[in-house]
Structure 1
Amino acid sequence: MTRQDTGAPPGGSWGRVTVAGLGVSGVSAARALARLGAVVTVVDGGDGERQRETAKSLEGEGITVRLGDGATLPEATELVVTSPGWKPDSPLFLAAAEAGVDVVGDVEIAWRLRRPGAAPWLAVTGTNGKTTTVQMLASILTAAGLRTAAVGNIGTPIIDVVLAQGQEGAEPYDVLAVELSSYQLHWAPSVRPHSAAVLNLAPDHLDWHGSMQAYAADKGRIFEGNQVACVYNAADPATEELVRAADVEEGCRAIGFTLGTPAPSQLGVVEGILVDRAFVENRHSSAQELAEVSDVRPPAPHNIANALAAAALARAYGVEPGAVRDGLRAFSPDAHRIAHVADVDGVAYVNDSKATNTHATEASLASFEHIVWIAGGLAKGATFDELVAGARGRLRGAVLIGADRALIREALARHAPEVPVVDLDRTDTGAMTAAVREASRLARPGDTVLLAPACASMDMFVNYGMRGDAFAEAVRGLRTAGGEQGQ
């Protein structure tokens, strides 16, 4: 029913491999395959200082690098390994298809490199919450005494982790917590996790996938071949539909999570307690207490949902209830995810720069009562009418920055015309300082100034982390100028 690749392609040799992109995953794949005997060529359309430095390092290891041309397929290529961001219709991949050459991603290579008895994968995807959920899951697994790592679309490249397990003297992992993006899943046809979760589905990266249907289909690949549990969001029927469509191992179960009282085969919340009615002896008449809502930080609704999904995967792997509680208590969220920066003159300043799409921003806006909203950036094909209409009653004001801010401004005009809007006609990094100052003028004591951009950051910043750092630095500037000490 499923193809379980655990090594090189048929014939026992990796042959001539072309790696697309000089990013972290591309470099990892190039080095790993070269060590395994492949003849590796890396292609990248860039030719800047960073690319040249990386190319020099790789060439010192016997790897050929071609800069300034990411479209031409090197002669005699037998396999193309792509970095996640390269679009399926990239000229390089069209040339590969014409030549009958397979294109796969670094996650697929990692799966093929697994040795017999290798650590199983507990995998997570979704439009939002992937990183937090995987980190929660790793914390729970660690609390259970298991050796684990959070890998994939987070932290150490997954190829490096898998290869390290094959080295003499390496301590083996018991299980891996794996974050998988829609890009990675698109290029990973053979991956078959022990159990997996789809947290939610909302329009995102449609410019890459081409349609919502194609985006959802790639997310749904994570359920293929699951052995024990397919975890879905009971509040998001599209995630359950992906479970129904999946080809899984005999006996694999559909496990839901909900912020309400759980039905049998679900995890949920009862009177402030996270409970399990899925992995208990009699799920029709009993439930197992796992943790309290107060054990989840921050205890915002979407983050409680993340905790339930992480708990479901851990329980599917056989983790005891006490380890779920201990792991959630030990977990601290990363920066830029609803992170309280400071209180200045009675106003809270919160950094949620990771909210790079409307679905994440909707959850962020729902976490506070009165908000001055800083938003804008690259919309990635998104629309903002539904988001603005839903948040209208919470908005004290809005400050807009970035290349596609007009789309948000127009949605505000249509659905919240009474909300004051400051439109900063700037896309330089210094615009964040101006945005924070304008937001501070609109805010009243008791309000929250919330950076939840609903857009990607690359029009102004290298990544969302740098955008969040700029926000925090601007808030610190307010405090230096005479605001009260932040908490």
Structure 2
Amino acid sequence: MPSEFSGKHVTVAGLGVSGVPAAKVLHGLGAHVTVVNDGADERARTQAAELEALGVTVRLGDGTASDSGSAAGLPEGTELIVTAPGWKPTKPLFTAAEQAGVPVWGDVELAWRLRGHGGRKAAPWLAVTGTNGKTTTVQMLASILEAAGLRTAAVGNIGVSLLDAVTGDTEYDVLAVELSSYQLHWAPSLRAHSAVVLNLAADHLDWHGSMEAYAADKGRVYEGNQVACVYNVADRATEDLVRAADVEEGCRAVGFTLGTPGPSQLGVVEGLLVDRAFVEDRHKNAQELAEVSDVNPPAPHNIANALAAAALARAYGVPAAAVRDGLRAFTPDAHRIAHVADVDGVAYVDDSKATNTHAAEASLAAYEPIVWIAGGLAKGATFDGLVAGAAKRLRGAVLIGADRALIREALARHAPEVPVVDLDRTDTGAMPQAVREARRLAEPGDTVLLAPACASMDMFTNYNKRGDAFAEAVRELGA
């Protein structure tokens, strides 16, 4: 049966984890597909060969993706561009598309439009975005939905590819979807069943151009919501995005809070997660969902993630018992506030995933006293607010990485009494030394916390490798 893409000339911008599946799906739907990619490394050449064997045209290293200089422009006949989420809106390719009146979609937009293709069930989406906590919340949500007996998957930036989820053989009842600000920027027609913005803090501003543009792209997740727009009571900016959203008639604003919830909120009361939003007479009644101890780990920001996941699940009609069972069954990914070991009465915790100040703030708030291992690539961040807020919790700090001076200077301004070890090295061998120095500073009952507040690429391939190095160094202490 011909699709709307049959015979259409589509340019896919970028290879990688989103571009290759998009090219394959579009080719399978009968489109004439051309893939453009700036890089021409070994991985790109391998992916190109795979696509060319199917009959897809691939142009490597032609300058289309470049931020500066002349660009190759639109491939001849292009009627639609499907872009990888990381490509900036300022790319010359997109300027050329705008001038030619050619629409630009992301892979999420393509997946949204392909729901129900070929007679498949068009599963509703429960969407999660925010500066931090997206992956954990989506995984918690999927676990809760599974506990309710629903066919689901954690998709988007994690798990199953969105395109695979909507075009594959498995028919899902509902999807738990993680969406980045990049993906939302390129998804103009997305309309979720319910959605949450977990939090907002300055991030990726080099891509978006401003905090206002970043927030606006995050807020797209609320557009057209059907049942609930879930927001963070402690983060007014998320509620402001709800107020600005154009939603379906009857869609409700539902808050989550670490305090006692008001009507239309989920929150915490005497060690219990409770719901005052999806109950009869929410002004008088509340429904117990789970115990705080059911959340793994029960750090404050993770309890907030659990409440957000519970709100989306409850918006979909999931019973309270499934929230409890799903949270109990959930195991967080590695390098997310993960307890590595106790050595001589000191706990060692790996939160290498804390790659920005907002994430590190949440991690630092979960423990005291702390010997903090921090540093890496700052990505333009400043650290005064982070250090000022955590100063009373710090026993000491060990700094590594290219931009460690920024953290050292903030510590000097806001926590001058805190001992600081500044390791003047950016090789991977710095991590064992950092752990040994942290051990020297720590006392029994303390927590040595790797929460770098920075990206890892100055020293490690990714945050996973950084966390692995920390864990290995800790194990060597106890050997």
| TM-score by shorter chain over 0.5 | yes
Written as runs of structure 1 = structure 2, the 5 A alignment for 1:315-354 is 315-354=314-353
List runs of 5+ in structure 2 lacking aligned partners. Answer: 65-71
Give the C-alpha shift of residue 430 in structure 1: 2.5
Paired residue for 1:69?
62
- Report if the CA contact (8 A) 1:84-1:184 is conserved: yes
Kindly state the Cα deviation for residue 41 of structure 1 after the two structures are TM-superposed.
Answer: 1.9
Q: Which amino acid aligns with 1:47?
A: A
Q: Tell me what 1:220 maps to.
A: 219
Matched, 1:49 2:42: yes
Paired residues for 1:53-452 under 5 Å: 53-71=46-64, 72-73=72-73, 74-115=75-116, 117-164=121-168, 170-452=169-451
**1:8 Cα offset (Å):** 6.2
Say if 1:30 and 1:254 are closer, same or farther in 2 by CA, change over 3 A. Answer: same
- Is the contact made by 1:206 and 1:380 (CA closer than 8 Å) also made in structure 2? no
Q: 1:70 to 1:138 in 2, by over 3 A?
A: farther
Could you list the per-position Cα deviations for residues 316-357 of structure 1 after superposition, in whole angstroms to 9, with x for gaps in the alignment?
Answer: 001111111111111111111000111122221110011111
2:69 is matched with none
Distance, in Å, in 1 between the alignment partners of 2:208 and 2:333 is 28
Q: How far is 1:70 from its partner?
A: 4.2
SS at match of 1:216: helix
Write the deviation string for residues 129-162 of structure 1: whole angstroms up to 9, x where unpaired.
Answer: 1111111110110000100000011112101111
Higher relative contact order (CA 8 A, sep 6+): 1
Q: Deviations over 1:250-291 (max 9, x none)?
A: 000000111111111111111111111111111011111111
Determine the structure 1 residue equivalent to 2:21. Answer: 28
Distance 1:42 1:453 in 2: 37
Work out the CA distance in 2 between the residues paired with 1:437 and 1:338.
20
State the Cα distance separating 1:209 from its structure 2 match: 0.9
Structure 1: 5+ residue stretches without partners: 1-6, 165-169, 481-487
Report the secondary structure of 1:308's partner residue: helix
TM-score, scaled to structure 1: 0.93
Deviations 1:184-224 (A, max 9, x none): 10110010000001111111111111111111100000000
Q: Distance in 1 between matches of 2:63 and 2:233?
A: 42
CA distance in 1, matches of 2:429, 2:21: 34
Q: Equivalents in 2 of 1:225, 1:442: separation in Å?
A: 52
CA contact (8 A) 2:153 2:159 kept: no
- Structure 1 stretch 404-413 or stretch 285-294: which is displaced more? 404-413
CA contact (8 A) 2:12 2:83 kept: yes
User: Contact 2:232–2:256 at 8 Å: present in 1 too?
Assistant: yes
- Structure 1 residues 403 and 18, CA, compared in 2 at 3 Å: closer, same or farther? farther
Q: How many angstroms apart in 2 are the aligned matches of 1:222 and 1:131?
A: 16
Q: Is the 8 A contact 1:14 1:33 kept in 2?
A: no
Equivalent residue for 1:455? 454
CA distance in 1, matches of 2:385, 2:226: 38
* SS of residue matched to 2:98: helix
Q: Distance in 2 between matches of 1:397 and 1:76?
A: 61
Q: Provide the C-alpha distance between the structure 2 equivalents of 1:113 and 1:429, rounded to a whole number of angstroms.
A: 44
Provide closer, same or farther for how the CA distance between residues 290 and 237 of structure 1 changes in structure 2, counting only shifts above 3 A. same
Q: Which moved more, 1:17-26 or 1:174-183?
A: 17-26
C-alpha contact 1:8 1:113 (8 A) present in aligned 2: no
Q: Distance in 1 between matches of 2:404 and 2:98?
A: 38
CA distance in 2, matches of 1:161, 1:171: 7
Q: Which moved more, 1:370-379 or 1:316-325?
A: 370-379
1:392 to 1:173, Cα distance in 2 relative to 1, 3 A: same
Structure 2 counterpart of 1:54, which letter? Q
CA contact (8 A) 1:70 1:92 kept: no
Q: Is the 8 A contact 2:9 2:31 kept in 1?
A: yes
Instruction: Return structure 1 stretches of 4+ with deviation > 6 angstroms.
Output: none
- In the superposition, the TM-score normalised over structure 2's length comes to 0.94
Q: Do the aligned residues in 1 keep the contact of 2:367 with 2:447 (CA within 8 Å)?
A: yes
CA contact (8 A) 1:198 1:232 kept: yes
Structure 1 residue 96, shift from structure 2 partner? 2.2
Task: Kindly state the Cα deviation for residue 94 of structure 1 after the two structures are TM-superposed.
Answer: 2.2
Shift of 1:374: 1.2
State the alpha-carbon separation in 2 of the partners of residues 175 and 183 from structure 1. 23
- Say which is worse superposed, 41-50 or 118-127, in terms of deviation: 41-50
| One-letter amino acid matched to 1:301 | P
Cα separation, 2, equivalents of 1:346 and 1:188: 50
The whole-number CA distance in structure 2 between the counterparts of 1:404 and 1:94 is 34
Percent of matched pairs sharing the same residue: 80
Q: Distance in 2 between matches of 1:192 and 1:378?
A: 36
How far, CA to CA, are the matches of 1:210 and 1:369 in structure 2?
36
Could you tell me which amino acid in structure 2 is paired with residue 342 of structure 1? A
Does residue 22 of structure 2 align to residue 18 of structure 1?
A: no
